[in-house]
Amino acid sequence: MELMYVYIGLAALFGLFMAWGIGANDLANAMATSIGSGALTIKQALLVAAVFEFAGAVLAGGEVTSTIRKGMIDTATLVDQPDTLIFGMLAALLAAGVWLLIASRKGWPVSTTHSIVGAIVGFAVVGVGADAVQWAKVGTIAASWVVSPLIAGIIAYFTFTSIKWLILIRPDPLVRARRYAPMYIFIAVFLIVLMTLFKGLKHVGLELDTASCYAVAFCFALLIAIVGRWFIARIPIDEKANRRFHFYTVEKVFAVLMVITACSMAFAHGSNDVANAIGPVAAVISIAQEGVVGQQSAVSIWILILGGLGIVAGLATYGRKVIATVGSHITQLTPSRGFSAEVAAAFTIVFASSTGMPVSTTHTLVGAVLGVGMAKGISAINLGIVGRIFLSWVITIPAGAILAIIFFYILRAVLG
């Protein structure tokens, strides 16, 4: 009985550490475009993240959590050795958390999904055997790491191209910005609310039919678009600033849009990436309490809250270096470009979350930022920074696996 409480305590502690790492590294990516384009200050971004990241984690975090918890390893091979799975999941959490701490200190925007999946696979291979790993599931997840930045990049490219065509290249860009900006707000909010309603609110007992989901999403998007239009209409024209930079007031319009997409991005990130921290926690607690591998128990609300709090704390204490890398070093971002990247990334992440596929926020957002940069031309992209980012992605999986193997042997020696 005492050992059960030790396992649960360690799971909560390591899960909180891993969630902190997600906030320090991955959530910085979710907020980086808003800060890099000047639409939000660090303090404002933290406030947005605190509210919407937490809401996404608690309300919509369970669909992906089930994939990380039950889909990666064939639990049938561990029926007679529940302690092995507990040690492995604890090792995976600690390994991923340590790697995220190292990467965040260096300012590397690495994938927390890569970290935890690599760590789980690493422990499984040495702790149980390669046959225990669901390689087909791993392959599907790995494919999503390629597909998600590609989709986000394409959506971001066409979103910014449409903004340029409808607004920026016209002789009256401010008039047209005020006309079309509410449309962009409506589309962004409609898609994100719709995806969230379809899959994300099971934990609060709210299950609507398809028609009701569309109706709620439409009404919500319309309301936000009307509120946004009201704010946009009251943005003062600064003639002096406009003479220095022709699109100064137009970009202030898009700064309003970026506040909305930043909220959406934080919710999307919370719904998807909280699984990386709390999936293994849920597995350990389930096994420790029931003594059975493969329990189908629901994720407790306190575990979701733990993940949400850890993520927000990570951004507040350690997120600045990765924000600088993604927000200003890949390509020059303005609010219109940042909006295009954020809405593309948020849509891609929430879509992935609604299907139970854990994608990398890092990959998705970097893909979206690259898509925006490509709309201006390859010369607008800092290829050296992009190369270092890609290299850090390649290193992450083996780093997570190696650290997990080391911690697995240590935990088994101490607790086994």
Model confidence over 146-175: pLDDT tens digits? 788 899 999 999 999 999 999 988 888 888
CA dihedral 151→152→158→160, nearest 10 degrees, is: -170
pTM for this entry: 0.81
Assess whether pLDDT exceeds 80 at residue 65. Answer: no
Model confidence over 344-382: pLDDT tens digits? 887 887 777 667 676 777 788 889 988 998 887 787 788
Task: Tell me the pLDDT band of 199, cut-offs 50, 70 and 90.
Answer: low
Model confidence over 254-309: pLDDT tens digits? 888 888 878 877 887 787 778 788 888 888 888 877 766 654 555 778 888 888 88
Give the number of domains in the chain: 1
Q: Residue 222 belongs to what domain range?
A: 2-415
Mean pLDDT of 389-393: 83
